[in-house]
Structure 1
Amino acid sequence: MLYGLIICTITVIIMSTVNIGLEFGKLDTEVFLIILKSFPIILIIAMLLEVLVIGRIAEKLVHTFSDNTDGFNAKILFTIFFTVIGMSLIMTVIGGMLGKGISPDSFGSLSHWPRNFSIALFCELLIAQPPARFVMKKLHLRQEDKLDYDFD
């Protein structure tokens, strides 16, 4: 849960800033307040979607497109790729609905999906994953040290 929260938080901050900033054509105090106000809603939506829908679909796709002999890194890359495809597609539509209301116009935001996918994939691979992995590695090391200490 912590791992997903870190990744979602970083990705939501970046994607919200990019999309809302591009919608307004600037990044000023007013736009940052809109981003700040929308952040908790978007984060909750993204977390629920990833855990309940997209993550499960991504796992099935990884199982379908990978083999038991594939390494951990290959499976992680597949998982990231499939998750980013699904999340960027759905969040592009949801973002349009949050910004413009639920109407046929909100599906017009799908034209932004290729940009959102590219930014989200870059963000996921190079910005969000490294700190999340670092935190999890430190957490696991601390748990191992505590376990080793308990046995001594």
Structure 2
Amino acid sequence: MDFYMRLPRNRREFAVFLLIVSLISVNLIAPVISMFELGFSLKVWHNTLRVLPFIWLAVVILVILTQKPAGKLKDLIVHPKDSFRSQITINIMCNVFLMSFFMTAIGGWIGQGAINYIPIGEFLAKWPRNFGIAFIVEAIIAQPIARYFLYRYHLTKETFE
């Protein structure tokens, strides 16, 4: 029942789910990572806000591109009869794994305003931290909020049908 009530059932619901998750994630993850990189200051936060629309666009594109590979990776790890929570947790982990892998470099390029080798050269030092921050935000904040929204939407929809 949780799968049916808390997850998107069609493309429109997926778009709403993606919008909620991506807006929450980008507005939390990007500033936190930037502040770990450059220091905690209003100037860093302000500079991060200026590039957030570009980061958000990259995130949405990457979510769409990595959705199927992340699903296949999840299916290798969990059994179809596993609980909703285990399925969702592993799904989040696989999605965040792929997203953080690519966004560690792409986010650096967007933040610097240039494509260079710096994010690639520093990748092994920065990716684990970026993965951890993104996983915490996705698992504890962004996706539970989006799933709750879908749950409430589905309850309302079924009440009026």
Q: TM-score range by the shorter chain?
A: 0.7 to 0.9
Residues 96-107 of structure 1 correspond to what in structure 2 (within 5 A)?
A: 96-100=108-112, 101-107=114-120
Q: What's the counterpart of residue 57 of structure 2?
A: 44
Q: What's the counterpart of residue 11 of structure 2?
A: none
Whole-Å separation in 2 of the counterparts to 1:24 and 1:62: 34
Q: Deviations over 1:44-70 (max 9, x none)?
A: 11011011x221111111222222322
Contact 1:55 1:83 in 2 (8 A): yes
Q: Deviations over 1:50-107 (max 9, x none)?
A: 11x2211111112222223222222111110100111111111101111232111231
Q: Deviations over 1:98-118 (max 9, x none)?
A: 123211123124121111111
Q: What's the counterpart of residue 22 of structure 2?
A: 8
Q: What are structure 2's unaligned runs of at least 5 residues?
A: 1-14
Identity %: 32
Aligned pair count?
145
Q: What's the counterpart of residue 100 of structure 2?
A: 88
**SS of residue paired to 2:131:** helix
Q: What's the counterpart of residue 31 of structure 1?
A: 44
Whole-Å separation in 2 of the counterparts to 1:99 and 1:106: 10
Tell me which amino acid in the other structure corresponds to 2:126: H
Whole-Å separation in 1 of the counterparts to 2:145 and 2:158: 20
**Deviation of the 1:27 alpha carbon:** 2.0
1:114 aligns with 2:128: yes
- Runs of 4+ aligned residues of structure 1 deviating over 6 Å after TM superposition are none
Contact 1:92 1:116 in 2 (8 A): yes
Whole-Å separation in 1 of the counterparts to 2:79 and 2:38: 45
**SS of residue paired to 2:137:** helix
**SS of residue paired to 1:89:** helix
Tell me which amino acid in the other structure corresponds to 2:52: F
Q: What are structure 1's unaligned runs of at least 5 residues?
A: 148-152
Q: What's the counterpart of residue 17 of structure 1?
A: 31
Rg: which structure is higher?
1
Contact 2:104 2:130 in 1 (8 A): yes
Over the aligned positions, Cα root-mean-square deviation in angstroms equals: 1.5
Contact 1:80 1:124 in 2 (8 A): yes
Q: Which has the higher contact order (CA 8 A, sep 6+)?
A: 2
Q: TM-score scaled by structure 1?
A: 0.87
